[in-house]
Chain A
Amino acid sequence: MQTPEEFELSRRGVLVGGAASVATVTLVPIGTATAATPPAKSPPTAKVAFEVNGTKRELELDTRTSLLDALREHLHLTGTKKGCDHGQCGACTVIVDGRRINSCLTLAVMHEGEKITTIEGLGTPDKMHAMQDAFVTHDGYQCGYCTPGQICSAVAVLDEIRAGVPSHVTADLAAAPTVTKVELRERMSGNICRCGAYSNIIDAITDVAGVKA
């Protein structure tokens, strides 16, 4: 393994080319800021139109805007959560054209004409979706931050099983998958809950699926 000193000596040789003696304190250049500062340019924007929870929305966005940030920062639909912004946690799960996706891993402008369902589109506090209601009944959450993603995922998971989509734990790929705890746990594993409500979440989903828990 390289020591920091070895590492710095070799890097300095390339990057600095100086003849400084080895010391406990050494310079580590990061990046090269020699070029003249370029003039600021406005970032490119693009128009996009899609349907969110049954309502047509048109936006003109910085093309770097993720679908997640379009929902949260531009449409103020903040039920969809940003947990990692890197597709690692599932808190941003939404349903696009019937399939669940991590909305942080996709640019908003890629979804022209598509139908997006967020947690707000499933139900409201006064008129909850059956899955939302089951999460309340089974205490399938604690801090609540992963919850919208868990619920969107759960709704889509049941649709996937109904549609016959197999998973890693489906034993017989030729037979229709069934709603079992093992199937649910596998399919829900992209949605992290650090509070650890998993046992209750699976109870909630099996309840909605009409399967004995």
Chain B
Amino acid sequence: MKFDTPATSNPIDQMKIVGKPTNRIDGPLKTTGTAPYAYERHDVAANQAYGYVVGSAIAKGRIASMNLDEARAAPGVIAIVTADNAGKLAKGNFNTAKLLGGPDIEHYHQAIALVVADSFEQARAAASLVRVEYARGKGAYDLAAAIDTAIKPQASFGTEPDSAVGNFAAAFAAAPVQLDARYTTPDHSHAMMEPHATIAAWEGDKLTVWTSNQMIAWSVGDMAKTLGIPKENIRFDSPYIGGGFGGKLFNRADVLLAALGAKAAKRPVKVALPRPLMINNTTHRPATIQRIRLGATADGKLTAIGHESWSGDLPGGGPETAVAQTRLLYAGENRMTAMRLAVLDLPEGNAMRAPGEAPGLMALEIAVDELAEKLGIDPVALRVLNDTQVDPEKPSRSFSQRQLNKCLETGADKFGWSKRAKPGVARDGRWLVGMGVAAAFRNNLNAPSAARVRLAKSGVVTVETDMTDIGTGTYTIIAQTAAEMMGVPLDKVVVKLGDSAFPVSAGSGGQWGANSSTAGVYAACVKLREAVVQKLGLASDAVFADGKVKAGRRSVALGDAAADGELVAEDRMEYGDLAEKSQQSTFGAHFVEVGVDAMTGEIRVRRMLAVCAAGRILNPKAARSQVIGAMTMGAGAALMEELAVDKRFGFFVNHDLAGYEVPVHADIPHQDVIFLDEADPTTSPMKAKGVGELGICGVAAAVANAVYNATGVRVRNYPITLDKLLGKLPDMV
């Protein structure tokens, strides 16, 4: 099915099942420990051996020699895979660095060997006996020192590095009120709870991997390329994924080394990345240095908007697209943005939840707060004043829907924004109290997505698609979609995901999953409805409801259409140019209240509210969870998350969950989320958009602005830790 004209009314609009805050259908499995994750599939292949990964101890250079004798002789060892004996391996299209390094080393903890043994304990012990001598090379590890060498990168995924409208320099120089400030955001780690893990088994020349991966078809393709075997010979199965956040978009060392290990050991091999290896071995959100210049009239109209960002990555990598939202978020006639990319020999930078917007808004939304203060205008009012209903770079192009102002105004009302005091004056006992606001913005993306639906005699509808559920609620919203389309209750729908044998879906990334994958299910259900009507000899306008198909006076049980055998339909939703004709984006406003200890500078988040406008919300319960989870990650980015770079040796020092601090229960208060009532007919027949990334956009800036409001101390370098406040806090009375 091709979606090239805005949706009119369709069965989803009934909203009998779609749009309801249904409990997740996979909930009973997840809460009882019976949902099978990758490393746990004891049932899928007999005689599984254990692989343990060895990571490089240098960041750049080469392996001078490797002595495997002791490791090979260790108890239980079956095989050792290294670049020396693995055969020819191509680099996947989605990887910047090789998944198996050697002799050349591209980054610290790049995998250089897999030791396979009968037991986990034996593999781990033997891995420590692999003796490596390195020839260390010189690398660049310090972004601030490297920005002078940064170059203008190529466009990535259609995002040009630079943009310019009007005459920014002249308008900024002429602006009566100016802000020119520099902000930094550190490297971040996905730190999902389930380590990257895979069980691999070969049958002849056919490979099956049970793994934890967000994008099944991409990864099958990359595995085929890496191993030099046909895609048809590879099956990925990833029904449950213990978190991804972008960290499992692509194949990582676990899946490649499990496949190579299984080949070498001639038996199935399971590999999980040890937690202390994950942060340097896999990808991270790159640090940024950002300069923002805002020029405004005295009454608060933006006349000049300039946003520059510098980031680094390995050779061949891309920039963190931190200026992307600035091209679309606020009005203003004179604009410029620029991204520059330096070569850094740190581990590979890549997508993490809301790549670009997450760090970009961390800076931009502090800048807007600073400008509001210079102007003496309320920060909510300033944002409302500079709203635009059209693409500011191409005013002929309007937003498909844009309710940013309503998000801000609704939030201000619900949060009690009018009670916000001047910086540094509100007190609650020992706490300095402040409120902050930030806009949230993230583009909506659609991707083609296919599904197969089966109708059984029993009336049960089974959906099959290689779509993944990374905690997002995919199982449930796909079941809701199929139930609504076929007129059956939710418990008559079975959803099977994550198997590359199923039709290729959009996968989970870029907050495109919910709308795209359900649109694919919609398309397949339209075909199944046609098959049912034809089989039953009913009029084509038959109504599917209550487990029955009704046309005129006839009412037939849905399952009757499959009386002579299962009915199967498959289709793929594809997209025309609606996303080019109008700008499809998602919007929100974050409100945060913090308390800052007047003596110690300890920062506590006291209240959080998000108001989101993101099209039709397919399941408000699951969508709310996406948003509160993103708010939590945003609070982490504001207050604690920072990969500490060892600039001498080129690695992230705090490479485990003790050193890389993420929010825990005690850090997070009760969170409130409001979804504005929306349905966007330009996005798909589902009229939905994404929320999983929108939720993190702007959160950290709202926290930062609240800290400023509480203390009068402006911190422009994340994370905002108490050492950056001490000595600057208001005098004790």
State the A residues within 8 Å of B (CB).
1-4, 7-8, 24-31, 33, 37-43, 62, 64-65, 69, 72-73, 76-86, 88-89, 91, 118-120, 122-126, 128, 132-133, 135-137, 139, 141-148, 151, 181, 184-186, 188-202
Contact = CB atoms under 8 A, between A and B. Distances in A.
A3 B647 CA distance: 9
A95 to B, nearest CB: 13
28 contacts: A2-B648, A24-B137, A24-B138, A25-B62, A27-B134, A28-B135, A30-B57, A30-B133, A31-B131, A37-B69, A39-B73, A41-B75, A73-B119, A73-B120, A81-B242, A83-B195, A83-B242, A86-B656, A122-B32, A123-B32, A142-B472, A181-B670, A185-B668, A191-B664, A192-B662, A192-B664, A196-B630, A196-B631
Nearest to A136: B27
B115 to A, nearest CB: 13
Contacts of A199: 628, 632, 668-671
Interface in B650-709: 656-658, 662-666, 668-671
Contacts of A41: 75
Interface of B: 23-24, 26-37, 39-40, 42, 57-58, 61-62, 64, 67, 69-70, 73-77, 119-122, 125, 131-138, 190-195, 240-245, 272, 274-276, 470-473, 621-622, 624-626, 628-633, 648-649, 656-658, 662-666, 668-671
Nearest to A145: B242
Contacts of A125: 28-29, 32, 34
Given A26-B135, A132-B31, A196 B243 contact: no
Given A84-B656, A194-B243, 7 more contacts: A26-B135, A37-B73, A78-B37, A89-B657, A120-B34, A128-B28, A192-B193
Contact of A81 (B31, B193, B648): B193
Contact of A28 (B32, B134, B471, B663): B134
A83 to B, nearest CB: 5
A194 B31 contact: no
Contacts of B76: 43
A22 to B, nearest CB: 12
A88 B23 contact: no
B23 A139 contact: yes
A82 B272 CA distance: 10
A141 B39 CA distance: 20
B228 to A, nearest CB: 31
B40 A78 contact: yes
Contacts of B33: 77-81, 118-120, 147-148
A27 B137 CA distance: 9
Nearest to A69: B120
B585 to A, nearest CB: 23
B36 A78 contact: yes
B304 to A, nearest CB: 37
A83 B656 contact: no
A62 B133 contact: no
Contacts of A62: 119, 121-122
A132 B32 contact: yes
B24 A88 contact: no
Contacts of A88: 275, 656-658
Given A37-B70, A40-B75, A43-B121, A30 B134 contact: yes
A144 B240 contact: yes
Contacts of B32: 79, 119-120, 122-125, 128, 132, 148
A136 B656 CA distance: 29
A146 B42 CA distance: 20
B663 A198 contact: yes
B136 A81 contact: no
A189 B665 CA distance: 5
Contacts of B39: 82
Nearest to B659: A88
A139 B620 CA distance: 11
Given A78-B40, A83-B195, A147 B75 contact: no
B577 to A, nearest CB: 34
A185 B472 CA distance: 24
Contact of B28 (A30, A122, A136, A200): A136
Nearest to B48: A73
A197 B628 contact: yes
A197 to B, nearest CB: 6
A7 B648 CA distance: 9
Contacts of B624: 139
A199 B274 CA distance: 29
